[in-house]
Chain A
């Protein structure tokens, strides 16, 4: 089959690789109809996630048709149209059973790598480096889906592919960000990053009862979409002082809930950006935490900072004093796909949310390298490139 393979920093190639097959009883093989790029893939491309190997197939946000199931699969059959969560969960360990799927004890075949870095290892993730299990990703014609009964969900009739594909990763991640906020009546929620996850976090904040949502980014088209589709008030951090603006917009009180939907490659303005970039380049810090710093500073006393933007390692100049003395609650984590996907599919089917506007470019798999270039450089108002490997 054809697959989009990582071969080094900013080096992607479409290659011929063997077809996947059933390796374990609980596996399914899915023929991919849609596979989306994700902002977290850019950390792989830029070389900030170690343990990538040349030839690794990337991609983790996807849907398709079941073409084969292992003898242990009970809920799925050939021909089912499914969306699959990007994070793998075995369904049986303590963490899966308590709906904390990305903390799965069993789904990462290489846990010793993350154990060295983090003390304990979390779940495997499709197409996201050998530290996260070394699973082949979804930018391919076919993909093997382990623990298929737990990770693959039938798409309700009437939900189109263009909307369903984002219930794989962007929507559940954004929803979990809002869920972790513990939103109360009257709350103002600020979302840093108006990409796919950010857009979904904004809409989810309203679903969970937010009074106001404010979006922060530097790209006009993304802010325009946040305004149009997610009903957010918008701030461009290259144009206004964010801390001052947020304080004034919230009656001098500060926003109640702050969501970081950016992560380790944050951009900011002025000296701080140069400082972080230099330290990251010299590997004196692995992550650039400008958004996180700002969210902690902006948040009202006793508020919540919810982090779904991906971090990998160590931060520098982390304003712990502000977090401690304002009694902030910090919540974070890779998303619990299997907990949220069924609910979100229902919401999409009911017409409460239609994520399909995020799909700005529908391309063939052959255009993979070009698609990532555009997504990275954010040209042509690109929000999400989705590949259609079966066409």
Chain B
């Protein structure tokens, strides 16, 4: 399953940038097996932990491994055996959004290329650190404050002033990729920024419908991030009403 629309892509002149499936989204356990693993793993772990002897600990360990297999849909044993019981479908979400910024192209590009700037306007990003000329380390907050996910990314394409594209490295918490194009708007109307952001949702085939549900949320997120980018460049601040007074709600 994929939210990528090739017809729209033709109209907009964008690429399908879907990242390789290597990290948490990599699934090789089928739905039925995952459920069995979850239930079985939970039972084993529960009984194992209630028995204070070597056998109990072993049971708990096996239970834990099964729980992991069920929850993530990834089984190292399957990998080693070359076995894949999943349906082979996973989910990519790709969102393209454009926005015009009333600033010269070089300035707009520079601000984005300085990857450390990204958390200033991408709300879910906590930190981006440049590790080398091409490689960077990203830390993102999981919505609802559950925790963080981290990954390394490489810039895979760069045309100074007009394009920057990156991919997460194999084995990332979330496989993701992005491509941003910078073009001059007509007649000195600033710079058009067209961002395509792609995620491989870490839910596997189980979550086909979940990804569909999440799509508008991701879309809104990308849109809001771009808007904050525009505000920072144009006005030097991000618009807010958070913290202003109100009466009893």
Contacts and interface: CB of A to CB of B under 8 A. Distances in A.
To the question of whether A and B form a pair in one complex, the answer is: yes
Contact of A144 (B230, B236, B244): B244
A133 B246 CA distance: 14
Interface in A24-46: 24-26
A21 B247 contact: no
Contacts of A57: 245-247
B220 A112 contact: yes
A263 B190 CA distance: 35
A255 B83 CA distance: 83
Contacts of A72: 236-237
Contacts of B227: 111
A324 interface: no
Interface in B201-249: 220, 223-224, 227, 230-231, 234-249
Contacts of A3: 245, 247
B36 to A, nearest CB: 43
A20 B220 CA distance: 29
B239 A93 contact: no
B51 interface: no
A93 B234 contact: yes
A19 B243 CA distance: 10
Interface residues of B, number: 26
A55 B248 contact: yes
A57 B246 CA distance: 6
Contact of A134 (B223, B235, B241): B241
Contact of A94 (B189, B224, B235): B189
Contact of B246 (A25, A92, A136): A136
Interface in A41-70: 53-57
A91 B231 CA distance: 11
Given A111-B227, A134-B241, A90 B234 contact: yes
A18 interface: yes
A146 interface: yes
A141 to B, nearest CB: 10
Binding site secondary structure of chain B: loop
Contacts, number: 97
Given A94-B189, A112-B223, A54 B237 contact: no
B185 to A, nearest CB: 9
Interface residues of A, number: 43
Given A25-B237, A106-B231, A106-B235, A55 B189 contact: no
B102 interface: yes
A136 B247 CA distance: 10
B130 interface: no
B247 A26 contact: no
Nearest to A109: B239
A93 B248 contact: no
A137 B223 CA distance: 28
Interface of A: 1, 3, 5, 7, 13, 15, 17-21, 23-26, 53-57, 72, 90-94, 97, 105-109, 111-112, 124, 133-136, 140, 144, 146-147
9 nearest A-B residue pairs (beta carbon): A5-B247, A55-B247, A15-B247, A17-B245, A92-B234, A55-B246, A24-B237, A55-B249, A90-B235
